[in-house]
Amino acid sequence: MNDFNVYEVLNRKRRGAPMESREIEQFIDLYTRGDIPDYQMSALLMAVAINGMTTAEMATLTQSMLRSGEQWRLRDEYDFIADKHSTGGVGDKVSLVLSPWVAACGIRIGMLSGRGLGHTGGTLDKLEAIPGFNARLSRPDFERCLKDVGCVISTSTEGIAPADKKIYALRDVTGTVESLPLITASIMSKKLAMGASALVLDVKTGSGAFMRLYQDSRALALSLIAAAEGSGTRVEALITDMDRPLGVAAGNANEIIETFEVLKGHGPADVQEVTRAQAERVLVMSGRFDEKSANLKLAETLESGAALECARRWIAAQGGDPAVIDDYSLLPQPRKVLEVKAPQSGYITFIDTYQAGMFTVDLGAGRKRADDVIDYAAGVLFDRKSGDAVASGDVIARIQLGDRARHQSELTARFLSFVTFGDEAPEAKPLIHEHLK
């Protein structure tokens, strides 16, 4: 080690002074190599969580974490390659619908995606509900799929941003997950390591989002965009609503079915709207479409079945059985389905979407510990959502039970505990709140 004085750096950051770029770079480099112990990194994380970071510090942190591992720079290999990232929500299957849809429009899209986190579902977990689907591709297989089909989704390989893997594990146990610069650097180091030409961010807001308050979601969107400055990847963000589950299905196998339904033109309108808005941005950012032609192309590829056909080829290319598209019984099936009925007439005025997500996790659709095994058949179908009129006794949801035994009456009571009913319809809220770039 050179004259780098960890103690001094920590002391200054604790007092609120910004770190110099060289200090951040060295801290990350030494920590990744094991030359700074966890307790000193924990101290830095806490100082950052409390005092924040300037935009310049946050950008250097992102770059340092990204440089801790492989940089794929896929934008150097293709005329244009897109990426998309969601900050996470309940029933968010947008990446699954968007990938083959965009690829069917002639735009390559690749994603190094994540698993479920907290109350939110994970794209990879959902894909693994498809028999045979391989969500752990090597880089050559990732690129083969990208070349042959035009879309691919896989887990981030060991070589991508190893600093984030170590730091994330530490944040998880030191109460430093919810920090804007740390979240930004964590997300963007992985995204920028893949090195797409353009990245569309879906920043969720509302009760089912990590950032519940609008101003926090907006700050996150701006921070994520700022972190990409000068990286070579152009970034735009849409702030979309997560104050209600997206679509009807929340779980894994049920979200795969909903994905196919949207690609067949029958899926829930909200999933289609949110996906279309992001797909439009991807197409426009490619420079090959303007807004009008992008929307025409998206409509054409959906109606002609080209997007669905692309999904078929994509699933097969990643080792999955494409027959699931025509035969949903090939997917894991719930053992039992419980109906939840409206206890009164009126309107559903609010679904606490965080609670809805935790409920789904508790059914087995997500993990509470890293080594938990997912029950792919478990989940919820939200037949009615906020704003819908209901009569007493109407079925408002179906709880899909997988292999794990549950107390059924407790489940329906718990479900109703996070749904609010009222006599008047709540104010209608848009699904797409804002477009930032």
> Which candidate in 92, 125, 164, 375 is catalytic?
164
- Contact flag: residue 186 with ligand URA (CB under 6 A): yes
Q: Report the residue count for the chain.
A: 437
- Comparing CB distances to ligand URA, the nearer of 205 and 254 is 205
d(CA 314, CA 152): 7
Nearer to ligand URA, 136 or 266 (CB): 136
Strands 346-351 and 249-251: unpaired
For the segment 44-73, give every residue that binds ligand URA (CB under 6 A): none
Burial 102-129 (b: 16+ CB within 10 A, else e): bbbbebbbbbbbbbbbebbbbbbbbbbb
Active site residue 372: no
Closest listed residue to residue 75, CA positions, set 168, 218, 167, 191: 191
- Catalytic: which of 108, 171, 191, 312? 171
Residue 187 touches ligand URA, criterion: CB under 6 A: yes
Contact 382, 394 (CB under 8 A): no
The sign of the dihedral angle between the CA atoms of 15, 21, 24, 27 is negative
Gap between the Cα atoms of 156 and 229, Å rounded: 22
* Binding positions for ligand URA, 117-176, rule CB under 6 A: 117
Distances (CA, A) of 96 to 76, 93, 248, 261: 25, 5, 15, 12
Other Cβ atoms closer than 10 A to 241 = 20
Q: Is 378 in the site for ligand URA (CB under 6 A)?
A: no
38 flagged as catalytic: no
Which residue in the list 13, 115, 119, 190 is annotated as catalytic? Answer: 190
Q: How far is the CB of 437 from ligand URA (least distance, A)?
A: 21
For ligand URA, the closer CB: 114 or 402: 114
> According to CB under 6 A, which residues from 96 to 115 bind ligand URA?
114
| Least spacing, CB of residue 192 vs ligand URA, in Å | 12
Instruction: Read off φ and ψ for residue 256, nearest 5 degrees.
Output: -65, -45
Give the three-class secondary structure for 79: coil
Q: How many residues touch ligand URA (CB under 6 A)?
A: 5
Stretch that binds ligand URA, among 48-56, 181-189, 314-322, 411-419 (CB under 6 A): 181-189
- Report the 10 Å Cβ neighbour count for 136: 13
Part of the chain binding ligand URA (CB under 6 A), chosen from 59-67, 179-187, 345-353, 404-412: 179-187
From 15-23, 124-132, 183-191, 237-245, span contacting ligand URA (CB under 6 A): 183-191
Active-site annotation holds for 119: no
- Per the annotation, the verdict on 171 as an active-site residue is yes
Check if 404 is active-site: no
Q: In the range 269-298, which residues lie near ligand URA by CB under 6 A?
A: none
What is the separation of C-alpha 48 from the centre of its chain, rounded to a whole number of angstroms? Answer: 24
From the CB of 208, what's the least distance to ligand URA, in Å?
Answer: 14
The token duo for 345 is: 């007439």
Catalytic residue among 84, 85, 313, 433: 85
Q: How many CB atoms lie within 10 A of CB 245?
A: 26
Q: Residue 48 or 149: which CB sits closer to ligand URA?
A: 48
| Candidates 13-21, 64-72, 182-190, 289-297; binding stretch for ligand URA (CB under 6 A) | 182-190
d(CA 70, CA 194): 8
Provide the binding-site residues for ligand URA, judged by CB under 6 A: 114, 117, 183, 186-187
The catalytic residue positions are 85, 164, 171, 186, 190
